[in-house]
C-alpha cells in the first residue's frame, strides 16, 4: 500500500515553460513534506520542503503547494531548464516520527530544448 503516490512516471516539458509534478498521499498523519531530486548514478538530494501549517513554500524557481483537504501536493518549476531533467521524489514525514520519510515512486522529468 503506497501511502505516497506519484501517478505520473514521466513528464516532458519545453525549456522555459512550467513543470508541474504532482504527489498524493493517503496518511492523514503526515505533517511535513519534501521533494528530492535524483540524477542518474547519484543519490537523491533535498530540494524543497513544506510544513502542513503552510500551503505554499517558494525557493527561487521552485515552489511547492500543499492542499491538505485533498491530500495533494505539487512542485512547480518556473522556468524549466535542461539541468532540471532528473527524477523527482515526493516524501512525507508523520507526526512523532520526524526522522522517518515515506517516499513515492518518482517522476522522471525531461526538459527539452
Site residues, other proteins (CB under 8 A) = 2, 6, 32, 34, 36, 41-46, 49, 89, 91, 93, 97-106
Cβ neighbours of 9 (radius 10 Å): 10
The residue to which cell 520519510 is assigned: 101
Nearer to other proteins, 15 or 71 (CB): 71
To other proteins, the closest distance from the beta carbon of 101 in angstroms equals: 7
- Burial of residue 111 (CB within 10 Å: 0-12, 13-18, 19+) is buried
Nearer to other proteins, 1 or 113 (CB): 1
Nearer to other proteins, 69 or 99 (CB): 99
Helices first, then strands: H and E counts in the chain:
0, 11
> Closest Cα partner for 107 from 5, 3, 1, 2?
5
To other proteins, the closest distance from the beta carbon of 70 in angstroms equals: 21
- Burial of residue 108 (CB within 10 Å: 0-12, 13-18, 19+) is middle
To other proteins, the closest distance from the beta carbon of 88 in angstroms equals: 11
Nearer to other proteins, 32 or 62 (CB): 32
To other proteins, the closest distance from the beta carbon of 14 in angstroms equals: 26
Amino acid at each position: 500500500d503506497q501511502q505516497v503516490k506519484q501517478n505520473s512516471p514521466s513528464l516532458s516539458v519545453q525549456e522555459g515553460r512550467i513543470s508541474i509534478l504532482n504527489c498524493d498521499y493517503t496518511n492523514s498523519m503526515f505533517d511535513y513534506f519534501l521533494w528530492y531530486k535524483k540524477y542518474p548514478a547519484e543519490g537523491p538530494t533535498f530540494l524543497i520542503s513544506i510544513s502542513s501549517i503552510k500551503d505554499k513554500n517558494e525557493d527561487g524557481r521552485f515552489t511547492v503547494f500543499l492542499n491538505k483537504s485533498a491530500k495533494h501536493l505539487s512542485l512547480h518549476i518556473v522556468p524549466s531548464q535542461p539541468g532540471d531533467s532528473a527524477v523527482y521524489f515526493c516524501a512525507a514525514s508523520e507526526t512523532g516520527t520526524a526522522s522517518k520519510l515515506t517516499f513515492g515512486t518518482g517522476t522522471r522529468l525531461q526538459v527539452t530544448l
